[in-house]
Structure formats: C-alpha cells, structure tokens
A and B are shown apart, each in its own frame.
Chain A
Amino acid sequence: MFESFSVAFISIVLEAMPFMLLGTLVSSLIEVFVSREWIAKRLGDGKFSYFFLAGLMGIIFPVCECAIVPIMRRLIKKGVPKGIAITFMLAVPIVNPMVLFSTFYAFPKQPEMVFGRAILGYIGAILIGVIMDRQLGDKHILRDEHSAIESCGCHHHEDSHCECHDHSESHSHDHHECGAHAHEKPSAKSQFLHIIAHTSGEFIDVGRFLILGAFIAASMQTFVPKNLLSAVSDNSILSILIMMLMAFVLSLCSEADAFIASTFNNTFSSTSVLAFLIFGPMIDIKNTIMLSASFKSRFVIRLISVIFIVCFALTLIVSMLL
C-alpha cells in the first residue's frame, strides 16, 4: 500500500509542479512590471460597476491566492473600497488565464469545469464583495498601518535593488541585504534578477503546501476505502461540504489545485469538485493565517463565513439545476 501511496503522491506533485512554476513566474513578472497604484487608480472609485471590473482583473493580473492577500491589503491602504478589494482578492486567483489553463489540463474532457469555475468564481467573488461592502460600511478592518504581512516592499518603487530579496514565510521579505533604496529606473538585468529572485522564493513558499496537499490527497485515495467515499458522495450536500472542507485544509495553490481536484472526480460529483475549485482559492488555512496577521479577527471570521455561505449556495444551486 505504501508503494501505491507513493506513486499517487509523486504523480500529483509532478503533474502540478510545472503549473506552479509557471504561476510563480507570472506572479513575479507582475510584481516587477505592474504597480498596485495602477490597479488602485482603476478600482478606487467605488462605483457598483467596479465590482464587475475587479472580478476580471485576474485576466491581466494572474496571481494565485498565495500572493493575493498582501496585494489586497495594499489596495485597501491605497484607498480602494473594501468590497471591491475583496472581490479583487477572491476573483483574481480563479478568473485568471493561468488557473483556467491548468484547470483545462486537469479536466481535458470536461470543459464545463473550466467554464463553471470561471463563472461561479466570478459571480461568487462579486456577491461576496457586495455583501461585505454593505456589512462593513466605514468600519476599520486593518489591524494597523504597519502590519506584519506585506508583499515585497520594493514592489513598484521603480527602484533597482530587488535582486537581493529573500522570500520567507507568508511572502514576507527580508530587505536586510538590500541597502539603501535607490529610486532609479531599474536595468533590464536587475529586473530579470528580481523576477528570478521572486520566483525562487515564492516557489519554495507555496511548493510545500502543494506537497502537503498531495500527501493528503494521495493518502485519501490509497487508504480511505472507495465505499466510504462513495457513501458520502451519494449525498450532494455532504459531498459539497466535504470537498469545501478539503479545499480549506489542503491550502493548495490555485494554479495546481485542479490536478488534485481531478483525482476526486471519479468519486465525488462534478458540482462538489466545483465547490473545491472555487472555495479553495478564495479561502484556505494559509490565507486565513495571512489575513489574520493583517486584518481584525472579526472581519476575517465574517469574511470566511460569507465566502462559505456563498460558495456553498452557488454550488448547491448548480447541483440542483443539473
């Protein structure tokens, strides 16, 4: 049995790794070339239509959920309305070409999974953003102005020091090696090194979650009897809840989670797999930890509750319609 577990474990990791590498590379490119100010300018107005725009930002800003919390925090600090920033945070890791590309590869015979993920993720992110916007009003949700979690501090400073960054837990960075920030236009070489440095750090950060996720998924496949899972999967509500719980616990990168979701496709219903695919990128253990470091606990609990209710309701409606 251990050998069977090992085969499944390795195959999941190997399958997802290239997509995770590609995702971290794209994320690093954006980190270097796209400024938060640019996004803040386009989302800062607060008009209702901006929710729809925020939900589509992942198309030009394809970042996985591993890197999105610090960006969302920065957007709020830049003055983007909270609801729109939340929609942005929830939609970007789903409605983005990298994630949909990997989903397409993971479900080659089920294009409906790609469309379902994109559409439900988009609708869900907007709904959650609007609900949270109404609930939060003018409440302050940030812990303080100098919270621990930050994205790369050098980001878009138009500086040239960043090749020396170290990435560590939760995408916080050490700037100890950087020395003074030289606010000059960076050279192509320094930009290239910055991209490589970001990718190098980020891949290790998120890769361990992939490995842990693959470990749990392979364990379930190997050691949990099919009959037991089948009994759960026969109940549509229970199977959706189980898959949402699994997405939360596994904490997979959205660029690789489709491959793990596809391993449950033969056991669980498509809608419950869809629940896994939209709930996981919106909230999981690692994002909860990152959110808790930057935002007030009451806000985090409320956000998780709304995400849970909306994702559950959407997938349940889809399962009833199908």
Chain B
Amino acid sequence: MITEKQIRTIIYTILSLLITGLLVSGRTLQYLHPRMIKFQIFAAIFLILLTIYNWIKLVRKELNTTSSSKTEKRLQWRTVIPFFLLFLIILLNPNTLSAEAKQNKTLQLGEIEQSTNMKPQEKDLVKELTPEEIASKEEGNTFDESKYDNSDILNENNIVGGNTNNTEDINASLPTDFLGIVSGMYDTPELFLGKTVVLEGFVYREDAYTDDMFVLGRLLITCCVADASIAGLYIEPENASDYATDSWIRVEGTVVEGEKYLPETDSYMDIYTLDNMTIEKIDTLENPYVYWTY
C-alpha cells in the first residue's frame, strides 16, 4: 500500500526535477516574464531541500522496523490527482498559444497605457544597454537607429523624461524594440512620423475586421502568459488576405497618421499606422513575447 508519506516524497521529487529542468532548459521563459526567474530559482532550491528531507524521513522510516504500518496515513487521491495532472501537462511541453486563444486576449493598440507609467523605469534600464545589446536581447526587433534624428530624441527626452543633464544616456534610450516603437508612435508621434520602421509580429484578426486589414501584434507579458495581452498596431497592406491569421511577418514601412474606423469601438479614431509597406513572411520567433523591462 502506498502511504501518504511515500506519495508526498514522490510529488516533491518530481516537482523539484520539473522546476529545475524548466529552469536549466530555459523553458521557464515560455511561461513567465524574465523578472520571475529569481523566484523560480528560489522555488527550485527550496523544493530540492524538501525533497531531500522527505527522502531522509522515508528511508529512516523504512529502516525503523518497529514502526507499525497501521499508523501510516493512506494515500489520498484528492491530494495526488492535482499534482499528477500538473506533472503530466508540464511533460507534454506546451509552448504556444493558438490563434483561438489569442482571440481571448485583450487587444492594446497604440494606447498601451503602461508605457506612460513605466517610462522612467524603462528608460533607466535602457540607458545601461547599447543598441546592439538591446537588439540581441529582443530578437527580430531591427529598428534602424541611423534613420533617426538624435536631436529629436534629445528633445523627446527633455519633454517626457525631464532629464536635461544627462544627454549621453538619453541618446542610448532610443527605442529599438517592438514595444518601444509601437507605444512610442502614440506617446511621442513627432519622433516617428515619416520615419521607416521594421517590425516583426504575428497577424491578428477579429471577426469585425474587414479583409484589407489586420493587426501586427506581439504578446505582451506582465507576469506570465496567462495575463498576456496583444500589443500592436493596425496595418492595411495591399494584399492583406495573403497573410494567414497567426502567421509571422516582418513589416517595413513608413509611420503615418490617419483617421480610421475601428470595429472594436465602432467609431473613428486618430491612429498611427504604416504606409509603403514591404512585408515578408518569417518563421515564428524563438521568443514570441515582448515585455516591459522594470
């Protein structure tokens, strides 16, 4: 008969192996924001400690022939089933959200309000990175900084960040990532209008959309994939229907402003989008998510 103590030891063993395995293989990032990794390391260490403790207890118990098995608590299935369900699902190694699941996510177009709140922290972090470092961190975000006028950036930072004394750092805060560019179009459109940007994302459509439009989106994670929302912008390429929903594309285009009918709100709104677009189909990015860094 399997006792509760034995099954608890097995649960801790499998759990610590799985959590450690996810961390070592990097698969944790399929599910969580990178800032949560430190907590996963803590969990892995603590679970290993609990596993060792339970094994020692179990072995001691087995060696102690005087203890009666009658006093052992029986296996409780209501404790076992949830944990083994978790183990099974982790072992299946799911890693992507389907197009249908993305339909259930909130869509944030341009007015990614977090950008305003996060700006100081985001800039503080970006200051420490070179454009090359940022580009290597955010695979596929190939914004060409040479096309930007640095004086605009300085002005932008003087206004938004209020930091007029540290111009060298401000230069390095040029947005080079999907999120920085998309939110920047709305936060500081004067910086982007008329400029060429390159963005990579998936094609997202809602039922109300007409055939000639879709959203170029990325999943924005705050803590974990479960809380993800879709960040992106409307585009209307000439042959929009050629691009299947949920397929990945690289879009190069000029930032323009316009008024557009938005099916979600059933109203016309000023939006920022891309014009003169060149679109190329690409493979799904290794890391399909985007994050605010703080």
Interface of A with B (CB < 8 Å)?
1-15, 17-19, 21-22, 25, 105-106, 108-109, 166, 168-169, 174, 176-177, 193, 196-197, 199-201, 203-205, 207-208, 211-212, 215, 217-218, 221-222, 224-226, 259-260, 262-263, 265-267
A169 vs B78: C-alpha distance when bound (angstroms) = 10
> Would A208 and B46 count as touching, CB distance under 8 A?
no
CB-contact partner of B222 in A108, A177, A217, under 8 A: A108
> Would B47 and A262 count as touching, CB distance under 8 A?
no
Residues of chain B from 46 to 75 with CB closer than 8 A to chain A in the complex: 46-47, 49-50, 53-54, 67, 71, 73
Q: Which residues of B contact A222 (CB under 8 A)?
A: 101, 104
> Would A207 and B83 count as touching, CB distance under 8 A?
yes
Asked, given contacts A174-B73, A212-B82, whether A7 binds B106 with beta carbons under 8 Å apart, the answer is no
Q: Which residues of B contact A215 (CB under 8 A)?
A: 82, 85
A205 vs B106: C-alpha distance when bound (angstroms) = 34
> Would A10 and B94 count as touching, CB distance under 8 A?
yes
> Would B96 and A168 count as touching, CB distance under 8 A?
no
Asked, given contacts A12-B224, A263-B226, A266-B105, whether A7 binds B82 with beta carbons under 8 Å apart, the answer is no
> Would B97 and A14 count as touching, CB distance under 8 A?
no
Asked, given contacts A10-B89, A174-B73, A266-B229, whether A221 binds B104 with beta carbons under 8 Å apart, the answer is yes
- Which residue of B32, B83, B89 has the most chain A CB atoms within 10 A of its CB atom? B89
> Would B39 and A18 count as touching, CB distance under 8 A?
yes
Q: Which residues of B contact A207 (CB under 8 A)?
A: 82-83
> How far does the Cβ of B234 sit from chain A's closest Cβ, in whole Å?
19
Asked, given contacts A11-B32, A14-B32, whether A1 binds B100 with beta carbons under 8 Å apart, the answer is yes
The 9 closest A-B pairs by CB, nearest first: A4-B101, A6-B94, A266-B106, A11-B224, A18-B39, A11-B31, A211-B82, A18-B43, A208-B82
Closest to A201 in B: B8
CB-contact partner of B106 in A25, A105, A211, A267, under 8 A: A267
Q: Does B92 contact A (CB under 8 A)?
A: yes
Q: Does B144 contact A (CB under 8 A)?
A: no
Q: List 11 A-B contacts (CB under 8 A).
A: A3-B95, A3-B98, A14-B22, A15-B31, A15-B223, A21-B47, A166-B4, A208-B82, A262-B223, A262-B227, A266-B106
Q: Does B225 contact A (CB under 8 A)?
A: yes
> How far does the Cβ of A103 sit from chain B's closest Cβ, in whole Å?
11
> Would A217 and B226 count as touching, CB distance under 8 A?
yes
Q: Does B261 contact A (CB under 8 A)?
A: no
Q: How large is the interface on B (under 10, 10 to 19, 20 to 34, 35 or more residues)?
A: 35 or more
A3 vs B93: C-alpha distance when bound (angstroms) = 9
Closest to A111 in B: B117
Interface of A is mostly: helix
Q: Which residues of A contact B8 (CB under 8 A)?
A: 200-201, 204
A17 vs B118: C-alpha distance when bound (angstroms) = 26
Closest to B94 in A: A6
A109 vs B121: C-alpha distance when bound (angstroms) = 11
Q: A4-B98, A262-B223, A266-B106 are in contact. List 20 more A-B contacts (CB 8 A).
A: A3-B96, A7-B97, A8-B225, A9-B86, A18-B40, A18-B43, A18-B46, A21-B42, A21-B47, A22-B42, A108-B222, A166-B5, A196-B50, A204-B11, A208-B82, A208-B83, A211-B82, A211-B83, A221-B101, A267-B106
- Which residue of A200, A207, A218, A226 has the most chain B CB atoms within 10 A of its CB atom? A200
Asked, given contacts A10-B31, A14-B28, A200-B54, whether A265 binds B94 with beta carbons under 8 Å apart, the answer is no
Residues of chain B from 97 to 127 with CB closer than 8 A to chain A in the complex: 97-98, 100-101, 103-106, 114, 117-118
Q: Which residues of A contact B71 (CB under 8 A)?
A: 174, 176-177
Residues of chain B from 245 to 294 with CB closer than 8 A to chain A in the complex: 292, 294
Closest to A166 in B: B73
> Would B224 and A109 count as touching, CB distance under 8 A?
no
Asked, given contacts A109-B117, A177-B67, whether A4 binds B97 with beta carbons under 8 Å apart, the answer is yes
Q: Which residues of A contact B100 (CB under 8 A)?
A: 1, 4
Closest to A20 in B: B43
CB-contact partner of A108 in B76, B86, B294, under 8 A: B294
Q: What mask results when residues 210 to 241 of chain B are scored 1 for a CB within 8 Å of chain A, else 0?
A: 00000000000011111101000000000000
A218 vs B227: C-alpha distance when bound (angstroms) = 10
Q: Which residues of A contact B31 (CB under 8 A)?
A: 7, 10-11, 14-15
Q: What mask results when residues 14 to 53 of chain B are scored 1 for a CB within 8 Å of chain A, else 0?
A: 0000010010000010111000100110110011011001
> Would A7 and B73 count as touching, CB distance under 8 A?
no
A200 vs B105: C-alpha distance when bound (angstroms) = 36
Q: Does B143 contact A (CB under 8 A)?
A: no
A226 vs B104: C-alpha distance when bound (angstroms) = 5
> Would B294 and A12 count as touching, CB distance under 8 A?
no
> Would A14 and B224 count as touching, CB distance under 8 A?
yes
> Would B96 and A7 count as touching, CB distance under 8 A?
yes
Closest to A106 in B: B223
Q: Which residues of A contact B73 (CB under 8 A)?
A: 166, 168, 174
Q: Does B79 contact A (CB under 8 A)?
A: yes
Closest to B206 in A: A226
> How far does the Cβ of A272 sit from chain B's closest Cβ, in whole Å?
15
Q: Which residues of B contact A218 (CB under 8 A)?
A: 226
CB-contact partner of B30 in A7, A18, A205, under 8 A: A7
